[in-house]
Structure 1
Amino acid sequence: MSNKLNVLFICSRNQWRSPTAEQVFRRHPALAVRSAGTASSARRQVSHLDLAWADVVIVMESKHKSRLLAEHARTLMDKPLHVLDIPDDYRFMDPELVDLLQAAVPPLLDLR
């Protein structure tokens, strides 16, 4: 059994923002991370199993939270669900996106 916190990062198409977050935090010793998208065209579409696995869900925009709650309210009922308010203005591993993620995510997860 792992003592790691399971964190699921979500954006729309799982192309740039959430995979960047997964890449940035995948080697953190306290975390197990995955990424997915809400769109039907997502590279990896979020599933009930992803949400059941997650201890914490972090979305890039409020629209992602709304969609998840509309489709998976019961699964998300007792899980922290955070909105980063990061618009779809960045490519994969964009240095500015990495900086935004490194500033925003650790305080949400109480990481040192």
Structure 2
Amino acid sequence: MNLLFVCSENRLRSPTGEEVFSEYEEVEAIGAGTNADAFTPVSGDLIEWADIIFVMEQIHRRKVSKKFQNLLKDKKLVCLDIPDKYDCMAPDLVSLLKRKVEPYILLS
């Protein structure tokens, strides 16, 4: 299963999602950002690659939906509602991600 985590700059939240869920069996995870200066900007190739796209906030959902509308038809796009107030790999962020993402992995 391919999981794409999207935040703004791909510096804190989405890299945490990538690192945490890359450790799960049969899961590949990549983090990306909606901003042009993101470490890894979200792209059409990443959208096509992903089985599930997890965005951190509603603004990310709107940006991804607007830019990649034609690629999202058969994709699951999930907003995790995780605010930009955590450091990369902060224990609270890791716990929150696991609690919100694991049900989607277990269902598939």
Identity of paired residues, percent?
Answer: 42
**TM-score normalised by the chain length of structure 1:** 0.92
User: Which of 11, 16, 23 in structure 1 is aligned with 2:12?
Assistant: 16
For residues 40-67 of structure 1, the C-alpha deviation after alignment (integer angstroms, 9 at most, x for no partner) is 1111101110011011100100110100
Q: Distance in 2 between matches of 1:30 and 1:83?
A: 22
| Alignment of 1:37 onto 2:59 | no
Give me the CA root mean square deviation.
1.3
Map of 1:26 onto structure 2 = 22
* Aligned residue-pair number: 108
The one-letter code of the counterpart of 1:24 is V
CA deviation string 1:11-33 (max 9, x = no partner)? 00000000001111101112111
Q: How does 1:1-112 map to 2 (within 5 A)?
A: 5-110=1-106
The alignment partner of 1:46 has SS state of coil
For residues 61-100 of structure 1, give each alpha carbon's deviation from its aligned partner in whole angstroms, at most 9, with x where no partner exists: 0110100110000101110000000000011001110110
Structure 2 residues without counterparts, runs of 5 or longer: none
Could you list the structure 1 runs, at least 4 aligned residues long, displaced by more than 6 angstroms after superposition: none
User: What is the TM-score when the length of structure 2 is the normalising length?
Assistant: 0.95
Unaligned runs of 5+ in 1: none
Deviation for aligned residue 1:102: 1.1
The whole-number CA distance in structure 2 between the counterparts of 1:107 and 1:95 is: 19
